[in-house]
Chain A
Amino acid sequence: MNKLEIDWTRCDGHGLCAGLVPDDILLDEWGFPVLRGREITAGELSDARRAVLACPALALRLNNR
Chain B
Amino acid sequence: MITVDDTRVIGEARVLAGTDQGRLDLLRHRSTHGSLPALTRDDYTKLCEAVGLRGRGGAAFPVALKLQDLPARGVEAVVVNGSESEPVSRKDRLLLTRSPHLVLDGAVGLAHALGAPHVLIAVHDARAATSVREALMERDDRLAIEVQETPGRFVAGEARAVLSALEGGAAVPPGRRVLPTRKGYHRRPTFLSNVETFAQLAVLARLGSRGFSSTGLISEPGTQLLTIDGAVRRPGVIETPTGVPLDTVLQYSGAQAGPVLLGGYHGRWLQRTEGVTLQRPEVSAGIILALGSDTCPLGEITRVTQWLSSQSAGQCGPCVFGLAALVDDFARLTVGDPQGWHDAHRHLGLVPGRGACAHPDGTARFLTSALEEFDDDVQHHLTGQGCGRPVLGVLGGTR
Contact = CB atoms under 8 A, between A and B. Distances in A.
Interface stretch (A2-10, A16-24, A38-46, A47-55): A2-10
B388 interface: no
Given A8-B354, A28-B350, A13 B175 contact: no
Contacts of B317: 8, 11-13, 30-32
A7 B321 contact: no
Chain A, interface size category, equals 10 to 19
Chain B, interface size category, equals 10 to 19
B350 A7 contact: no
A9 B321 contact: no
Nearest to A61: B176
23 contacts: A6-B354, A7-B175, A7-B356, A8-B317, A8-B318, A8-B319, A8-B354, A8-B355, A9-B172, A9-B174, A9-B175, A9-B315, A9-B316, A9-B356, A10-B175, A11-B316, A12-B317, A13-B317, A28-B318, A29-B350, A30-B321, A30-B322, A31-B317
A29 B347 CA distance: 10
B175 A32 contact: no
Contacts, number: 40
A30 B328 CA distance: 15
Interface of B: 172-176, 315-319, 321-322, 350, 354-356
Nearest to A34: B350
Given A10-B175, A11-B316, 11 more contacts: A7-B176, A8-B315, A8-B317, A8-B318, A8-B354, A8-B355, A8-B356, A9-B316, A13-B317, A32-B318, A59-B175
Nearest to A37: B353
Contact of A30 (B172, B174, B175, B318): B318
Interface of A: 6-13, 28-32, 34, 59
A31 B350 CA distance: 12
Contacts of B354: 6, 8, 32, 34
B360 to A, nearest CB: 9
Nearest to A7: B175
A28 B317 CA distance: 10
Contacts of A8: 175, 315-319, 354-356
Contacts of B355: 8
- From A10, A30, A59, name the one whose CB has the most chain B CB atoms within 10 angstroms: A30
Contacts of A13: 317
Contacts of B316: 8-9, 11
Nearest to A6: B354
User: Across chains A and B, which 7 residue pairs bring their CB atoms closest together, nearest first?
Assistant: A9-B175, A8-B316, A7-B175, A30-B321, A32-B317, A9-B315, A9-B356
Contacts of B356: 7-9
- From A9, A28, A31, name the one whose CB has the most chain B CB atoms within 10 angstroms: A9
Contacts of B350: 28-29, 34
Contacts of A12: 317
Contacts of B176: 7
A16 B196 CA distance: 46
A24 B319 CA distance: 21
